[in-house]
Amino acid sequence: MFFENKKILIIGGTGTIGERLLQHILAENPNVVRILSRDEHKQYMLQNSLGSRRDMRYLIGDVRDYDRVLSAMEDIDYVFHVAALKHVPACEYNPYEAVLTNVVGTNNVIKAAREQNVRKVIFTSSDKAISPTNTYGATKLTAERMLVASENNKGTSRTIFSIVRFGNVIGSRGSVIPLFINQIVNDKRITVTNQEMSRFMMTMNQATQLTIKAMKEAKGGEIFVLKMPVILLRDLVRVITEETCKKYHINADEVKIQEIGMRPGEKMYEELMTYDESLTAWELPDMFVIPSIEGSQKGYENAVKAKEGTYSSANQKVILPEEVRELIVEQNLI
């Protein structure tokens, strides 16, 4: 098992993805897992849910604080960097705060990992980093560039830096689904930005498995992009309305849909890989790998050259409403 007897640090470990990563890692009998986050309440709740364990450490701290990150990484083998300020409107109205967490914080992780001679660092990015139109996306793009540059300029350091690029994670904290359910139950209405928007959607399990696979497969500097379904917001609204009304015995005809227009920084569609990236990318059955060194396959098993073109929610076939329903029901989100 990959994590057996290893020492792992999860930065942002009390978040949705962080907790799922933790569950997977603990199943492989690691030596220790350290959780670094700034939310003492979430750490308290996590500690209560797991009970007393000799292989867990709970560290209060902020990724913005280099000294704290450095001490948290002492004698660590693998680092998952999943901490971020990611709410798009919040980042728009507080751009420097987004820079401090997403850019300065990532730089702290890079420096500390080198200093502590960590084996591998996996950073979780976003589809919003591609052709960014908002602060969040711009900070994630900058962080990606920093990690790739660190890999290419690390000299004698053994630390491997790699990136996973996510779409929207269904059921994660900040997901639109709980908001829709709450609005239907309490107000019999849904506020939607624009029903013609399309989005990449992945399950929590897919996001976790992608991140774990990236950690195992990383050779250095590459970006892993999972192939994932595309959902039309209109279909998501329809399915959430029908399923919520069914569960709570509400007349679906009474639920009103109110379009409120796009929020600052939002796009009608999202991209996970640019045209330029596709020119050097490799394709696997379940993901694309964008290497840091042009033309380098670096030994990815069963990889073939990717087709030229953007990987965008605008040019991918959207899944049918019934497939959206299966996804929602399967994930037990209502």
Question: Which phi-psi region, left, alpha or beta, contains residue 74 (left: φ > 0; alpha: ψ -120 to 50)?
Answer: beta
Find where tokens 């997977």 sit. 24
From 86, 128, 219, 267, the catalytic residue: 128
SS3 call for 277:
helix
d(C-alpha 38, C-alpha 52), whole Å: 21
- Structure tokens given for 158: 């053994």
C-alpha 14, offset from chain centre? 14
Half-sphere exposure of 72 (CA within 13 A, CB side): 34
User: Which of 153, 5, 140 has the alpha carbon at shortest distance from 78?
Assistant: 5
d(C-alpha 35, C-alpha 195), whole Å: 38
DSSP class of 293: S
Is-catalytic flag, 246? no
- Structure tokens given for 187: 């107000």
**What is the radius of gyration, based on Cα positions, of the chain?**
20
d(C-alpha 313, C-alpha 270), whole Å: 5
d(C-alpha 157, C-alpha 71), whole Å: 18
Return the amino acid letter for 116.
Answer: Q
Find where tokens 């990690």 sit. 147
Return the amino acid letter for 167.
Answer: G
Indicate which residues carry an active-site annotation: 128
